[in-house]
Amino acid sequence: MEELLRRSEKLTTVGQLAAGVAHEIRNPLTTLRGFLQLQLKNRTGNAEHTSLMLSELDRINLIVSEFLILAKPQATQFTVKDVKQVLRDVLLFLDSEANLHNAEFLTVFTEEPCQISCEENQLKQVFINVLKNAIEAMPSGGPIYIRLKRNTSHITIEIADEGIGIPEEMIPQIGSPFVTGKESGTGLGMMVSQRIIQSHHGMIDIQSQVNAGTTVTITLPTLKDEGDGGILVEKAGAAGLY
Ligand code: ADP
Ligand code: MG
């Protein structure tokens, strides 16, 4: 009976998600169709319309690719990696993006090794999503502090920006599909990140203050505690944790 209930809850979530995706994709498709019809009727190619159509197509592409990340977990392979190295790779990858927005990565990494069992590409995706949000939160740039700490049971990655912040009432909604505060956001990055961290038996916590900044804290069990995710969650469980 409980299993059935769980299954139906799961189905509802998937159903809601599917409805959301359909809705999000139908909007740009409707715009595209309208412009194409107009061009057909007027027998013209209007540059402004064409550029709008391109941006609508980009949007569909973005939504679909963010969903593909979710659709891939069957192919996951957990291996032992040092989070420090994974983070360094991501920071290098995002360096030009940060420069472009006058954002500066400032790292404070523990000297200790930070090995965990992880799906490297998925973990990279999480860091990319969170760091991109930090960059986007500071329209005129600023510092982004990346702190890596460890204790015997877990590794903590803190990503802190001095950006626009998040209104208090919005914080609990972040990670639900399509919750976005941006004009051209998808509201999928944090949902994907949350799922990935959950599958790693970790947690994501968000602390934020409007016009002061946001700190996203990702906690992951160390290799030694690999099978202990449940205990870790219980110990650190508190409001605002995902
Ligand atoms: P998107 O970035 O496409 O909007 P996300 O799921 O990545 O979707 O983020 C959801 C929303 O959470 C963002 O639109 C933004 O309003 C808020 N948010 C997330 N991270 C930050 C941050 N570092 N600073 C300010 N707002 C943030
Ligand atoms: Mg984002």
Q: In the chain, pLDDT over 70 holds for what percent of residues?
A: 82
Q: Whose CA is nearest to atom 23 of ligand 1?
A: 134
Q: Whose CA is nearest to atom 7 of ligand 1?
A: 189
Residue 225 above 70 pLDDT? no
How many other C-beta atoms are found inside a 10 Å radius of the C-beta of residue 45?
A: 8
Mean pLDDT of the chain: 85
Ligand 2: distance of its center to the CA of 22 in Å?
A: 20
Kindly indicate whether the ipTM for this predicted assembly is greater than 0.90, answering yes or no: yes
Residue 66 CA to residue 128 CA, distance in Å, equals 12
Residue 58 above 50 pLDDT? yes
Name the packing angle between helices 2-42 and 47-71 (round to 10°).
160
Which residue from 96, 163, 87 is spatially nearest to 118, judged by alpha carbons?
87
**Rounded mean pLDDT of 94-106?**
95
Residue 148 CA to residue 156 CA, distance in Å, equals 6
Report residue 31 CA to chain centroid gap: 27
Ligand 1: distance of its center to the CA of 12 in Å?
A: 25
Ligand 2: distance of its center to the CA of 225 in Å?
A: 30
Q: What residues flank ligand 1, with Cβ below 6 Å?
A: 129, 133-134, 137, 161, 163-166, 174, 179-182, 185-190, 214
**Rounded mean pLDDT of 56-64?**
86
pTM for the full predicted model: 0.79
**Rounded mean pLDDT of 21-34?**
85
**Pair 120, 89: CB distance under 8 Å:** no
Residue 234 above 80 pLDDT? no
